[in-house]
Structure 1
Amino acid sequence: MSDNRPLRVAVIGSGPAGIYASDALMKSGKDVSIDLYEKMAAPFGLIRYGVAPDHPRIKGIIKALHKVMDKPQIRLLGNVNVGEDITLDDLKKHYDAVIYATGATDDRDLNIPGGEHTLGAGKFVGFYDANPHFEDSWNVDAEAIAVIGVGNVGLDIARVLAKTGDELLVTEIPDNVYESLKNNKAKEVHVFGRRGPAQAKFTPLELKELNHSDTIEVVVNPEDIDYDEGSENARHNSKITDQVCTILENYAVAEPKGAPHKLYLHFFESPVEVRTDDNGTVTALVTERTELDGNGGVRSTGTLTEWNVGQVYRAVGYKSDQQNDLPWDGKENVLPNVGGRVLTEGPTADGIAGVPGSADPEAELRETLPGVYATGWIRRGPVGLIGNTKGDANEAVANLLADYDAGIGFGPEAPGEDDVIELLHSRDIDYTTWEGWYNLDAHERSLGEAEGRERKKVRSHEEMVHYSSGEARVKA
């Protein structure tokens, strides 16, 4: 590879995974030049469009991401849909390597009778986080609602559904979100998990925050506080699991505070059917009681319960977004890979390549796509916390650098920083920039300040592009 220019890398996706990969590249000691592509007009991915608006502390991670994005080695190219506006073949002509760090926005299906009548958690999150590609209004006309899934996404949507619109008005939500949520009729929100407290995927902070609202009373049935040997071992081996169990135990014995909205956390209830009337309107969720099997798993008891609810939300996991021009693992919805190196083909019948715990014995033997790498949810699926994301990024970058030093890469025809900008201009792509993000950020803050809030988010794609567009900066 040439020593007369920097290593040119395209990173696809400006969420935490993409920014951590960029940071790892800059910390490698190599002379690097990074173009960070983002299909949205604004950066930060999941942090902007996947975190509930009443979680300002979690969004503090943007400050750390800002510091990385401010580095001169990185250039943001937003409002560019890789795979459509610009293809992998185009990228091969301009970069030595590409790292895919795209996210997951679609909801997994709930494969039970009537499951097609459930509402996807991701779609509701996209609505209240003002993602312009999702609905701009939402009808919450049911007084009793079920949420299936005991992870943080399930907690987020349950909490938002249990709050009043006025409680959320102090956050960054735009007018369209407030207009929908101020008409929220929900009085009861029921969250269901098929296993016990020790198997819940909550984090302690999110679980505690459920009770911070004066309008919400958290209810846990004392009979659901149950542990077997496997569950006790899980508590012993994980401080987070132990904290979650302790918080749930405290909820189970707490004195009622008389709040008007009830948020129930149900364990050992496995959904088996969503019932509807002749018009397709949800009338009930049926669950089957489970019990611990001694190893932390559960078995059926045959006892059914019908819960009279008017809406059912499924928070059972996201599906990563399939990428054009690349092989795909359709079962796990990831790029087939080993150590972040993308493979030339999908999984074999014996397992899923690149997924932790894969049974695929031939994954290491299959060919990789030279110069193509994956990190974050597109690599492992929508699981793991920030530590996992950083670890994935470090491994993918380490493999990229080893390959580059070995002469493996695209060997681009036009690696100059201005070359790809000329390509975007030739296709009339109105890309957005990092400087433009500062303009949009200032605009959103001014909108919020006028109403006594820190920020009021812009939902309109056209308005975001208007404030975020501009010529790419010229780096010294």
Structure 2
Amino acid sequence: MLRVAVVGSGPSGCYTAQSLVQLGRDVRVDVLDRLPCPYGLVRYGVAPDHEKIKSLQNTLRTVLEHERVRFLGGVPVGPGGVPSARLRELYHAVVYCVGAATDRRLGIPGEELPGSWSATEFVSWYSAHPDAVDDGFLRGARSAVVIGVGNVAVDVARMLVRGTAELSGTDMPQAALDALAAGRVADVHMVGRRGPSQARFTTKELRELGALPDTAVVVDPAELALDAGYRDPSGLPGAQRRNVEVLRDWAGRPAPDAARRIRPRFFLRPVELTADGDGRVGAVRFERTAPDGRGGVTGTGRYEEIEAQLVLRSVGYRGVPLEGLPFDAASGTVPHRAGRVLRGGVVAPGEYVAGWIKRGPTGVIGTNRPCAKETVTSLLADAAALTGRALPADPLPLLRAEGLEPVEWSGWRAIERAEADLGTSLGRHVVKLPDWESLLAAARTATT
């Protein structure tokens, strides 16, 4: 029997486990996660009002409930947890599916001012990630700037103007719901350095902005027209053309009266965050850019300031080095060949990668399926060489003996019951537990 550890229980990890048990009949898989809850960014990254996408958890659940798959949450790999070398002693093979764990930086003055956050920090807060901090994101904010024009930028812009009526039916933690409901953000500027035909949001996400209650989408036709693809979208690929058509429709209408406004902005490059009299962020200074004729932009030497008491940076993700594994700092990935980890250009037996740590932060959730299958195909081709090594009968007692307290599937189900009970007590549906203490306390009720 081939025994495999999959590190990470998000889509990439679950699709890897699924391929392993589908393609290999003599395979057992332990899916390890640092958190006591499975599903990765499906639980902690998908916006709470996107119920259809969040329902992917039901598909991932069937993988983790397979008779040859075991979920072990609360098991960090690396410093403070299980060293990667120890995993290799307990399993024939290890597949790392850890995603891209940090945000790209802007690299401009003022980026560290209070009131300036990565979009990931904001998303983690309203998604109840147990590592999230609540440091008053919305404190005194009347105007917000979201730097970036991808789907995450659209998500956080939408969350800033959503009201209690639309969010109370979601699993958003109560503290975040209360803070958003009491928020005074009336203007949200969503800003990209290039043009509308190069924006990375999907049309479905973009259209949602135009359907928000008491919220107007305000676009500047003159600014949009700097983009040749906006002036004549006929030659654009389908996705970009549809985006441009939505923006052209908004630009052709008078902005309705509304309590809140979302302002998609283009051809503006952030150069500095400036402080107000209290030392918090008070504005963002941008340089106007122009197309350079080669698909990029160039600075024009003209500048504009946008007032903002809240800045959310949404300019991409980046992988971080993993203890005991090689790392390519330029790409933020682990060097590999068809999923096999490479050390000095040579395949490292029994070590594999899948997902963003393998290919970088690209694609959509479904992109992880073929990515995982490629890695699993490599692993199973190596199986004969890997299974020649004797292993302990079961890693779980050894992990416990080494001071870890893995949360098994029964513990996760206990967390689910506790979140359902919390929702009932608040007159809502399921409401997420927002911190380590409450999650682990709920998990422990599975055995008491």
Q: TM-score, normalised by structure 2?
A: 0.92
Report if the CA contact (8 A) 1:373-1:396 is conserved: yes
**Distance between the aligned counterparts of 2:407 and 2:251, measured in 1?**
50
Indicate the SS of the match to 1:372.
strand
Indicate whether 1:90 and 2:86 are aligned: yes
Match of 1:302 in 2: 301
Aligned match of 1:436 in 405, 411, 414? 411
1:452-463 aligned at under 5 Å gives the runs 452-463=427-438
| Shift, 1:59, TM fit | 0.3
Report if the CA contact (8 A) 1:102-1:321 is conserved: no
| 1:44 alignment partner AA | Y
Distance 1:411 1:90, change over 3 A: farther
| 1:305 alignment partner AA | E
Indicate whether 1:413 and 2:378 are aligned: no
Aligned match of 2:347 in 368, 390, 395? 368
**Distance between the aligned counterparts of 1:299 and 1:59, measured in 2?**
39
Match of 1:264 in 2: 263
Indicate the SS of the match to 1:14.
coil
Indicate the SS of the match to 1:448.
helix
| Shift, 1:52, TM fit | 1.5
| Shift, 1:404, TM fit | 2.2
| 1:164 alignment partner AA | G
Aligned match of 2:137 in 136, 139, 153? 139
| Shift, 1:329, TM fit | 2.1
1:118-152 alpha-carbon deviations (Å, 9 max, x no partner): 31111111111111111035331221111101111
| 2:37 alignment partner AA | A
**Distance between the aligned counterparts of 1:470 and 1:415, measured in 2?**
29
Distance 1:315 1:443, change over 3 A: same
1:194-223 alpha-carbon deviations (Å, 9 max, x no partner): 111111110122111112221321112112
Distance 1:462 1:308, change over 3 A: closer
Match of 1:348 in 2: none
Match of 1:148 in 2: 147
Indicate the SS of the match to 2:71.
strand
Report if the CA contact (8 A) 1:137-1:177 is conserved: no
Indicate whether 1:389 and 2:368 are aligned: yes
After the TM superposition, which of the residue ranges 279-288 and 41-50 deviates more from structure 2?
Answer: 279-288
**Distance between the aligned counterparts of 1:64 and 1:31, measured in 2?**
23
Report if the CA contact (8 A) 2:122-2:137 is conserved: no
**Distance between the aligned counterparts of 1:397 and 1:227, measured in 2?**
47
Distance 1:421 1:29, change over 3 A: closer
Match of 1:60 in 2: 55
Distance 1:420 1:307, change over 3 A: same
Indicate whether 1:215 and 2:192 are aligned: no
What RMSD, in angstroms, separates the aligned Cα atoms of the two structures? 2.3
Indicate the SS of the match to 2:23.
coil
Match of 1:423 in 2: 398
**Distance between the aligned counterparts of 1:233 and 1:75, measured in 2?**
54
**Distance between the aligned counterparts of 1:7 and 1:470, measured in 2?**
32
**Distance between the aligned counterparts of 2:31 and 2:331, measured in 1?**
26
Report if the CA contact (8 A) 1:94-1:412 is conserved: no
Report if the CA contact (8 A) 1:198-1:235 is conserved: no
**Distance between the aligned counterparts of 2:373 and 2:239, measured in 1?**
25
**Distance between the aligned counterparts of 1:24 and 1:98, measured in 2?**
14
**Distance between the aligned counterparts of 1:438 and 1:449, measured in 2?**
17
**Distance between the aligned counterparts of 1:233 and 1:9, measured in 2?**
53
Distance 1:235 1:375, change over 3 A: farther
| 1:413 alignment partner AA | A
**Distance between the aligned counterparts of 1:234 and 1:105, measured in 2?**
36
Indicate whether 1:242 and 2:233 are aligned: no
Indicate the SS of the match to 2:55.
helix
**Distance between the aligned counterparts of 2:383 and 2:228, measured in 1?**
49
Match of 2:359 in 1: 380
**Distance between the aligned counterparts of 1:453 and 1:465, measured in 2?**
22
Report if the CA contact (8 A) 1:193-1:267 is conserved: yes
Aligned match of 1:468 in 411, 418, 443? 443
After the TM superposition, which of the residue ranges 101-110 and 73-82 deviates more from structure 2?
Answer: 101-110
Report if the CA contact (8 A) 2:195-2:266 is conserved: yes
1:278-357 aligned at under 5 Å gives the runs 279-345=278-344
| Shift, 1:467, TM fit | 2.8
| Shift, 1:300, TM fit | 2.2
| Shift, 1:287, TM fit | 1.2
After the TM superposition, which of the residue ranges 236-245 and 207-216 deviates more from structure 2?
Answer: 236-245
Indicate the SS of the match to 1:57.
helix
Report if the CA contact (8 A) 1:21-1:397 is conserved: yes
Report if the CA contact (8 A) 2:414-2:445 is conserved: no
Indicate the SS of the match to 1:262.
strand
| Shift, 1:437, TM fit | 2.0
| 1:215 alignment partner AA | D
Report if the CA contact (8 A) 1:188-1:263 is conserved: yes
After the TM superposition, which of the residue ranges 388-397 and 71-80 deviates more from structure 2?
Answer: 388-397
After the TM superposition, which of the residue ranges 463-472 and 291-300 deviates more from structure 2?
Answer: 463-472
Report if the CA contact (8 A) 1:93-1:410 is conserved: no
Indicate whether 1:104 and 2:100 are aligned: yes
Match of 1:353 in 2: none
**Distance between the aligned counterparts of 1:374 and 1:233, measured in 2?**
42
Distance 1:431 1:45, change over 3 A: same
Percentage identity across aligned positions? 37
Report if the CA contact (8 A) 2:131-2:435 is conserved: no
| Shift, 1:45, TM fit | 0.5
| Shift, 1:278, TM fit | 6.0
Gaps of 5+ in 1: 1-5, 346-365
**Distance between the aligned counterparts of 1:213 and 1:95, measured in 2?**
50
Indicate whether 1:71 and 2:66 are aligned: yes
**Distance between the aligned counterparts of 1:316 and 1:412, measured in 2?**
45
Indicate whether 1:126 and 2:124 are aligned: yes
Total equivalences in the alignment: 443
Indicate whether 1:37 and 2:12 are aligned: no
Report if the CA contact (8 A) 1:229-1:296 is conserved: no
Q: TM-score, normalised by structure 1?
A: 0.87
**Distance between the aligned counterparts of 1:278 and 1:130, measured in 2?**
32
Report if the CA contact (8 A) 2:414-2:446 is conserved: no
